[in-house]
Amino acid sequence: MNNDVAIKVVNMTKSFKLYSDKANTLKERLVRGWKNKPEIRTVLKSIDLTISKGETVALIGVNGSGKSTLLKLMTKIIYPNKGTVKTNGKLTSLLELGAGFHPDFTGRENIYFNAAIFGLTKEEIDQRLNEIIEFSELGDFIDSPVRTYSSGMYMRLAFSVAINVDADILLIDEILAVGDQHFQDKCFQKLEELSNSNKTIVIVSHSLGAIEKLCKRAIWIKDGEIAMDGNSNKVIEAYLKECA
């Protein structure tokens, strides 16, 4: 893969097997048959996509179009049935609220736990700890178990850790819709700083106004395929016309 490329997806297809409820009675088994055959649902179809280093790219589309699945494939949480997904550089992600947090650990303990998963040593976490806590604005709650946190507090902590692990690629799902307006604005301001510092950012969001401000490029996913890829203003305009 070219060294200027951060993410490359080639002819990638992802399907899931869906099993219906099993028959509970002999009559149902005789009617439906003894075998519970799965339904194959193809979520993404023959995706070809290249994201260069330093790009800030938005994935847009209606719910169920395959945006979040594509992010998970980039993170290698799941793998394609066909084709390849390659990334070049250290990667961090914010895909599910509180993922990687232990509910009985304090916020401070989870910083060490979560940052270690992203590859930081204890010494590196020690150096960044105060900065992470300060950005999260959790105050005294940083030493409370995270099971006592609200969804907004989860997001504050997760985002604060993710942006301080010095990753080359940052993948973000709709998690930024959680929390108050002040912290959302603060997050987008930080993302602008990361974008200007040549980090690669891929973000899924329904906040089209924020996407237009943050991203020069947008990719519209429709029914598991790329409907349009290009200038964010033009892609969003076409997407809104279809939605209307």
Q: What is the CATH number of the domain that holds 90?
A: 3.40.50.300
Q: Please check the confidence at residue 226 and state whether its pLDDT lies above 70.
A: yes
Q: Which among 58, 63, 66, 62 is positioned nearest to 230, based on CA atoms?
A: 58
Torsion of CA 212, 213, 214, 220, to 10 degrees: 0
Measure the CA angle with vertex 75, ends 184 and 166; round to 5°: 60
As for how many domains the chain has, the answer is: 1
For residue 24, what pLDDT is reported?
59
Helix (H) or strand (E) holding 61, with range, is: none
Report percent pLDDT > 70 for the chain. 89
- E strands within the chain? 5-18, 39-52, 56-60, 82-87, 91-94, 169-172, 200-204, 217-222, 225-231
Provide the pLDDT for residue 206: 85
CB atoms within 10 A of CB 64: 12
Q: pLDDT tens across 54-100, in order?
A: 999 999 999 989 999 999 999 998 999 999 999 999 998 888 766 67
Of the pLDDT bands very low, low, confident and very high (cuts 50, 70, 90), residue 231 is very high
Query: Would you state the pLDDT for residue 38?
Result: 74
Closest CA to 53 of 214, 181, 222, 201: 201
Q: Which domain holds residue 111?
A: 5-243
Higher pLDDT: 97 or 49? It is 49
Q: Is the pLDDT of residue 27 over 70?
A: no
